[in-house]
Amino acid sequence: MQHDLSHAALEIREGRESASNLMELSIAAAQSPLCAHVFSQTFFDSARWAAAETPKAAPLAGLAISIKDLFDTEGSRSAASSVLLKDAPLAAANATAVERLRKAGAAIIGRTHMVEFAFSGVGVNPHFGTPAALDARHPANPQLAPTQPARVPGGSSSGAAVSIASGAAWAALGSDTGGSIRIPAALNGLVGFKSTARLVPLTGTVPLSPTLDTACAITRSVRDAVLIHEILAERKVPADDRPLSQWRLAVPRQIFFEQIEPAVKTAFEHSISQLQAAGTAIEWIDLPELEELDAVNAIGGFSPTESYAWHRRYLNNPEQAALYDPRVRSRIERGAQMSAADYLDLLAARKAWIAKMEAAIAPFDALLSPTTPICAPTIASVAPANGANPEADARHDAEFVRVNTLLLRNTSVVNMLDGCALSLPCHQAHELPMGLMIWHAALHDDAVLQISAAIEATLQAVN
Catalytic residue among 78, 82, 156, 158: 156
Q: From CA 312, how far away is CA 229, in angstroms rounded?
A: 33
Nearest to 191 by CA among 451, 426, 26: 426
Of the candidates 339, 357, 350, the one whose C-alpha atom is nearest the C-alpha of residue 295 is: 350
| 72-109: b (≥16 Cβ within 10 Å) or e | bbeebbbbbbbebbeeeeebeebbbbbbbbbebbbbbb
Contact 151, 431 (CB under 8 A): no
Buried b (16+ CB within 10 A) or exposed e, 158-176: bbbbbbbbbbbbbbbbbbb
* Contact criterion met (CB below 8 Å) for 290 and 459: no
Biggest CA pair distance of the chain: 61
Find the catalytic residue in 68, 82, 412, 452: 68
Strand 435-440 to 420-425 pairing = antiparallel
d(CA 337, CA 333): 8
CA-atom Rg of the chain in angstroms? 21
Peptide bond into 6 cis (omega under 30): no
Beta bridge partners of 369: 437
Known active-site residue 180: yes
What is the Cα–Cα distance from 248 to 282, expressed in whole angstroms?
Answer: 7
What are the CA-CA distances from residue 403 to residues 9, 261, 406, 409, 442 (Å)?
Answer: 38, 12, 5, 10, 28
Buried b (16+ CB within 10 A) or exposed e, 296-335: bbebbbbbbbbbbbbbeebbeeeeebebbbebbbebbbeb
Confirm if 50 and 22 have CB atoms less than 8 A apart: no
Counted residue by residue, the chain has a size of 463
The residue from 157, 166, 180, 412 that is catalytic is 180
Instruction: Give CA torsion, residues 312, 315, 317, 319, to 10 deg.
Output: 150
- CA–CA dist 422, 435 (Å, integer): 9
Strands of 69-106, DSSP E: none
Q: Which residues are catalytic?
A: 68, 156, 180
